Amino acid sequence: MVSLTLKNTFLTLIILAGVVLPQIVVGQNCGCATGYCCSQAGYCGQDAAYCGTGCQSGPCTGSNGVSVSDIVTQAFFDGIINQAPAGCVGTSFYTRSAFLNALSSFSAFGTIGTTDDSKREIAAFFAHATHETGYFCNIDETSPSSNYCNATYTQYPCAPNKSYYGRGPLQLSWNYNYGPAGDFIGFDGLANPETVATDSLVSFKAALWFWMQNVHSVMTTGQGFGATIRSINGAVECDGKRPDLVTARVNLYTNYCSQFGVAPGDNLSC
């Protein structure tokens, strides 16, 4: 997700709010009271605008009773991480239990639509995480080309000497993601971006935060796996730019769908 395009985020906000809002809404720390939903844009409320598509946590509608832990079995998780080369830093960091514990902040993940929809969303998440980390080998981006500070986002000012390169299962990048992710999760993402690489619970939460903000609604509205690639790294990979990388992601996704016994759906590429 190094090259996250913000256009999708803007578009989503326009649709949800009916007006063009500043990006700060992305970073609202929900922390909603019991019984309230955290909307895709990060606000607390109780009607469909909050609890419907994109709902991040709380009693999101469409919650289908699927237990993600029944699908992401230890055998499934091990089947991925055991393919990481020997000596990887990630293999003693990423754990199934950290993933499952992180889910407590994101009740809508993998629980929208039919059971098959749930399986497809979970397969998509793990396909991208596998691809981004090399079978959970890497925690930090291997050769960051910059410190991923975009000073345009004055509400998320970069701290001195801090780098917002990719970290964690979906390689969270950029100050404008670390800031709001930290607000939501409960750590200072701008001053301490390293937390995403040192605390496995925070690391999975950061990945799930990004997913719920940018990818979840793509899956729950049936746009297909190809659209999730576009949300995560479309500017670099889609439209014929890196068909090799697109194919690698699609192959992981179809493999995981097969393991879950679900059809992968249409529109796999981008």
Ligand X SMILES: *[C@@H]1O[C@H](CO)[C@@H](O)[C@H](O)[C@H]1NC(C)=O
Reduced to 3 states (helix: H, G, I; strand: E, B; else coil), residue 173 is coil
**Residue 30 in contact with residue 180, Cβ under 8 Å?**
no
Smallest separation, CB 3 to ligand X (Å): 9
Measure the CA–CA gap between 111 and 220, rounded to whole angstroms: 9
| DSSP letter, residue 170 | T
The secondary structure element, H or E, covering residue 106 is: none
Smallest separation, CB 146 to ligand X (Å): 8
Would you give the binding string for ligand X spanning residues 210-239, x where CB under 6 A is met? ------------------------------
Catalytic residue among 121, 132, 141, 237: 132
Q: Total number of residues binding ligand X (CB under 6 A)?
A: 5
* Residue (98 or 191) nearer to ligand X, CB: 191
* Residue (145 or 161) nearer to ligand X, CB: 161
Residue of 160, 240, 244, 261 interacting with ligand X (CB under 6 A): 160
Q: Please say if 141 is a catalytic residue.
A: no
Residue of 142, 152, 155, 251 interacting with ligand X (CB under 6 A): 152
**145 binds ligand X, rule: CB under 6 A:** no
- How far from chain centre, in Å, is Cα 231? 10
* Residue (34 or 143) nearer to ligand X, CB: 143
Reduced to 3 states (helix: H, G, I; strand: E, B; else coil), residue 76 is helix
Measure the CA–CA gap between 27 and 68, rounded to whole angstroms: 26
DSSP string, 44-61: EESSHHHHSTT--BSS-T
Residue of 147, 150, 259, 269 interacting with ligand X (CB under 6 A): 150
Measure the CA–CA gap between 206 and 141, rounded to whole angstroms: 15
* Chain positions contacting ligand X, by CB under 6 A: 6, 150, 152, 160-161
Catalytic residues: 132
